[in-house]
Amino acid sequence: MRVIDTVKEMQETADKLRGEKRIGFVPTMGFLHEGHLALVRKARELADVTVASIFVNPIQFGPTEDLAKYPRDLDRDMKLLEQEKTDILFYPPYDEMYPKGYTTYVQVRGLEDYLCGQTRKGHFVGVATVVAKLFNMVKPHIAVFGQKDYQQLTIIERMVKDLNMDVRIIPYPTVREEGGLAMSSRNTYLSSAERQKALLIYASIKRLQELVKTGETDSLLLKEEARRLLASENGVNIEYVSISDPETLEEVDSVKDRAVYAVAVRIGKTRLIDNAMLGGGVT
């Protein structure tokens, strides 16, 4: 695996490759887990050259969030990427991404206001900005994003469409641990008792899918049931429970066709998010 750490080298390499080969890209913030590796495998399946990036993007963290504490292990990440036959790791330092005088930001209006955007002000501007920059550096034909971060995926799809970016976004289903906890680098913060409580998130997904399958469509009632289940253990603090339109992310009154159930909770010091589709023949 070749490691590139400057924008110039990344762009020159991408220019040379792009004529003859399809470039598949997986942007990450490192501390890789099976969820990331599944995205790399998907990129490899769809492209000739696979590029992964590792960059813990400071501008998507709020002032009280876990930037300094964010887990990092480059050696382990490199081994895992090599095992997956990743061709290039792009690992730029901060100054390459945001050199002195940097002042341009990408805002996907509206979509950033819902769900996580309500408490993580500015987070999605940070995400859209770094992803746009990474696309300009890696020049991929396809880029794979996990559905676990549903709002992030929706915002990136919108940005690509609105800014006519020449890249196809491939959504990839959430990879779950045994018991259903969605894989996340932040799971490492959970104690074993907290991990047990976190299983309630998946239980709420299954319960709502079941209710919708048996004919329940009332969003209020469904959200109440999710809250009841999540609160059935002490120490699961609900940040939001939402049932929204899959494209606009606006809350819906009823699950007529398809809707997204999205949830954010805090367990101890750890913030966890998850989501799943309701309706539309989801089993």
Which of the residues are catalytic? 36
Q: Does 160 bind ligand PAF (CB under 6 A)?
A: no
Q: Is 278 helix (H, G, I), strand (E, B) or coil?
A: strand
Nearest-CA neighbor of 173 among 39, 23, 37, 30? Answer: 39
Q: Which is nearer to ligand PAF, 117 or 279 (CB)?
A: 117
Binding pattern for the stretch 108-127 against ligand PAF, x by CB under 6 A and - elsewhere: -------------------x
Q: 209 near 223, Cβ under 8 Å?
A: no
Nearest-CA neighbor of 254 among 210, 206, 213, 222? Answer: 222
Q: Does 27 bind ligand PAF (CB under 6 A)?
A: yes
Among 149, 159, 223, 255, binds ligand PAF (CB under 6 A): 149
Rounded least distance, CB 262 to ligand PAF, Å:
15
Q: Which is nearer to ligand PAF, 141 or 148 (CB)?
A: 148
Rounded least distance, CB 237 to ligand PAF, Å:
23
Q: Which is nearer to ligand PAF, 51 or 131 (CB)?
A: 131
Q: Which is nearer to ligand PAF, 29 or 182 (CB)?
A: 29
E strand spans, the chain: 2-4, 23-28, 49-54, 88-90, 142-146, 168-172, 236-244, 258-267, 270-279
Q: 149 near 273, Cβ under 8 Å?
A: yes
Q: Does 209 bind ligand PAF (CB under 6 A)?
A: no
Q: Does 129 bind ligand PAF (CB under 6 A)?
A: no
Among 78, 81, 125, 131, binds ligand PAF (CB under 6 A): 131
Q: Which is nearer to ligand PAF, 184 or 242 (CB)?
A: 184
Q: Does 23 bind ligand PAF (CB under 6 A)?
A: no
Distance CA 74, CA 78 (A): 6
Q: How far is CA 244 from the centre of its chain?
A: 18
Is the dihedral angle over the CA atoms 173, 174, 178, 180 positive or is it negative? Answer: negative
Q: How far is CA 270 from the centre of its chain?
A: 16
Give one word for 121, left, alpha or beta, with left for phi > 0 and alpha for psi -120 to 50: beta
Among 4, 7, 10, 29, binds ligand PAF (CB under 6 A): 29
Q: Does 153 bind ligand PAF (CB under 6 A)?
A: no
Q: Which residues bind ligand PAF (CB under 6 A)?
A: 27-29, 57, 60, 127, 130-131, 149, 152
